[in-house]
Amino acid sequence: MRSIETGEPGHSADQVTVRRTNLALVLRHLRAEGPRSRATVAAELGLTRSAVSQLVAELAERGLVREGRREHGSVGRPGTTVELAGHGIAGLGAELNVNHVNTIALDLAGEVLSERQVALDARTAPAEEVVERLVELVERTVADLARRDVQPVGLTVGVAGLVDEDGVLTHGPNLGWRDVPVGPMLRERLRPAYDVRVDNEGNLAALAEATPGDPDRRDVLVIFGEVGVGGGIVADGRLLRGRQGYAGEFGHMIVEPQGRRCGCGRVGCWETVAGLRALLDQAADPDDPVRDPSLSLDQRLTEINRRADLGDTRTLAALDQVGRWVGVGAAVLANALNPAAIVLSGYFAAVGHHMRSAIETALVDGVLAPGAGGTRVELSTLGFTASVRGGAQAALETVFADPARVERRPLARGALR
């Protein structure tokens, strides 16, 4: 029996839609569950074996899956497994930061195909010039890919600030930018054949930390700290953006109404007590090198860690005090969201092993549910690349949503029969 999922030519528009939906279903299933045989995929998705074989063949022609090792599964005869490949395509991620612009290209299996960075000072340079540096970097990244015969399927750029649906950075307090049309500028300069999107860097960092297939990483809150504090929420495996895309602005939750004035003009925002500046101000005098902005942040955080390791009282007290405030804000969010994990990213990850106990104590104290409702505190292992990786993953999502976007090509060696 030939079913309507197989997608042979001559079928109606309805049937083509069903076939595209099923292509995406199979591709996402392989991502969520890992390599497995066609028979296993068929049983798990409730499709016929012949339909799955034809869907897998089409995904292979589009370069998205390949043969893996042989499997002795529970369903039927041992078969060859199928796994994500996607060496022919890449998602591009970029980040436009206060101190640098950078790019990354990831294939469908998450492997890095290209990685580039250029230092600059986005506070003093005009926005047009910063965007132009990013354009050059993206063009070089696309050239890296072209040499390997890899097509970009999308570019997502992370920025520190509020981004509207058209990719306009409406308010970036730490960049000192207002209403900069980053997305439209990039589209005009790059004239790309792929989609260009702009998103908040905290949202993208959250995407990078979440693993849709893992129950311990399906409901994740990422808190991203530098001078500002932001983040993102992944609920049930999906990024929560909110009505206008402004979700995740954790840094401006008011936690200390009698506290310090924030860069945004309000008093007592979380970032005034949990941001990098709060830590450095308490840990060192103004002329201390850890407060010298001309040194790299990595160097300064390494020095903070060195002093903490040596037991320096002032450094440890500062880490404890800021850690307590990180935990107070984390508890506010955990009462509302009860995430499986709160992942600390950015500067929090760099010095977090010295803050963790203060954070956990404040979290358990502040959450009504017993044992903090099971919420674990974790330190990101992605370093400062979380946002740019999340950007590349967001770009690849367009393929997981509709694999037929990627053209069929002659099958290369090592691909599926």
Residues 147-176 that bind a second copy (CB under 8 A): 162, 170-171
14 vs 285 by CB, closer to a second copy: 14
The single residue among 254, 297, 316, 404 that binds a second copy, judged by CB under 8 A, is 254
CB of 399: closest distance to a second copy in angstroms?
Answer: 20
Reference 210, options 121, 289, 110, 120; nearest CA is: 110
Question: CA 159 to CA 179: how far, in whole Å?
Answer: 13
Tokens encoding 381? 């292992």
Q: Is 10 in the site for a second copy (CB under 8 A)?
A: no
Q: Return the C-alpha torsion angle 371, 375, 379, 381, nearest 10.
A: 140
As measured in angstroms, the least distance from the Cβ of 411 to a second copy is 28
Q: How far is the CB of 231 from a second copy (least distance, A)?
A: 9
CB of 256 to a second copy, least distance (A): 6
Please report whether residue 123 would count as binding a second copy according to CB under 8 A. no
Among 177, 250, 348, 384, binds a second copy (CB under 8 A): 250
Taking CB under 8 A as the criterion, the residue among 125, 336, 401, 412 binding a second copy is 336
Interface with a second copy, residue 359, by CB under 8 A? no
> Minimal distance in Å, beta carbon 359 to a second copy?
15
Q: Which of 166, 170, 207 is nearest to 187 (CA)?
A: 166
Q: Beta 151-159 vs 195-200: how paired, if at all?
A: parallel
Task: Tell me which residue of 319, 386, 326, 385 sits closest to 353, measured CA to CA.
Answer: 319
Residue 74 interacts with a second copy (CB under 8 A): yes or no: no
Residue from 29, 68, 373, 397 in contact with a second copy (CB under 8 A)? 373
Q: Where are the alpha helices (DSSP H) in 48-175?
A: 49-61, 127-147
For position 8 contacting a second copy by CB under 8 A, the verdict is: no
Out of 119, 143, 369, 412, name the contact with a second copy by CB under 8 A.
Answer: 369
Residue 339: CB minimum distance to a second copy, A: 6
Residues 156/391, Cβ–Cβ less than 8 Å: yes
- 261 touches a second copy (CB under 8 A): no
Q: Which helix (H) or strand (E) holds 94?
A: strand 89-96
Q: DSSP letter string over 328-364?
A: HHHHHHHHHH--SEEEEEEHHHHHGGGTHHHHHHHHH
What does the alpha-carbon distance between residue 289 and residue 304 come to, in Å, rounded to a whole number?
10
Enumerate binding residues for a second copy (CB under 8 A): 1, 3-4, 12-18, 21, 42-43, 46-48, 162, 170-171, 219, 233, 235-236, 238, 240-250, 252-258, 264, 266, 328, 331-333, 335-340, 365-370, 373-375
